[in-house]
Chains A and B, each alone.
Chain A
Amino acid sequence: GPKVLQIPSHQIIDMGQMVTLNCDPVSNHLYFYWYKQILGQQMEFLVNFYNGKVMEKSKLFKDQFSVERPDGSYFTLKIQPTALEDSAVYFCASSKTGGAREQYFGPGTRLTVL
């Protein structure tokens, strides 16, 4: 089936540094999402991105977070500066349309902030 790729699979950085998580969504998909899962907790929605704009974001999507997808390349989540509580697995997802279309998920990027 369609695959969403995420690069890197693991990232370890020092608190205060910037990090960019990369997502290669399914090629003809138009809606992109980021989710965050802290170990042992539920996966939680961060942000939805469509047509170059953030459509919706949750309270977890702090001011230090930003997303973009320049010219159809990777869909990225940037955190600047990082904090200890940003340590989690970040999952990217994409869907062809909004509505009732299913979301396809990547394998996640494990981010560790020291």
Chain B
Amino acid sequence: TQTVSQSDAHVTVFEGDSVELRCNYSYGGSIYLSWYIQHHGRGLQFLLKYYSGNPVVQGVNGFEAEFSKSDSSFHLRKASVHWSDSAVYFCAVRGNNYAQGLTFGLGTRVSVFP
């Protein structure tokens, strides 16, 4: 089985700041990693994913994430946040068996102040 840990429950930043959201996982085999964003009252929106290849992946709205096998991590970053980035961010992992569905972390709430 796989587990996901998001160490920060809440992150507060100012507009224009950079932000890094941490995600660590445990799983022994090939892994599929993704990040989702959830604005208040809405469904999860896909940001980006990693399965193989370049460990740095680009997503929508300037987000990127870097996979590290040695650290078992998939941290999400953005160089300059906007107030509209205020939301809850979920890291998700899945093994090779796609039918098992995604395993989510608890989420990190990001509050962006002007």
A: residues with CB less than 8 A from B are 1, 4, 6, 31, 33, 35, 41-48, 50, 55-56, 58, 91, 93, 98-100, 102-108
Contact = CB atoms under 8 A, between A and B. Distances in A.
A33 B103 CA distance: 12
Given A100-B32, A100-B51, A45 B101 contact: yes
A99 B98 contact: yes
Interface of B: 4, 32, 34, 36, 41-46, 49, 51, 90, 97-107
B100 A106 contact: no
Nearest to B100: A56
A98 B43 contact: no
B90 A43 contact: yes
Contacts, number: 60
A33 B104 CA distance: 14
A92 B93 CA distance: 17
B49 A48 contact: no
Nearest to A48: B99
A110 to B, nearest CB: 10
Identify whether the interface residues of A are mostly helix, strand, loop, or mixed: strand
Contacts of B106: 41-42
B98 to A, nearest CB: 4
A107 B41 contact: yes
Contacts of A107: 41-43
Contacts of B46: 102-104
Contacts of B49: 100, 102
A50 B101 contact: no
A34 B44 CA distance: 13
A45 B98 contact: no
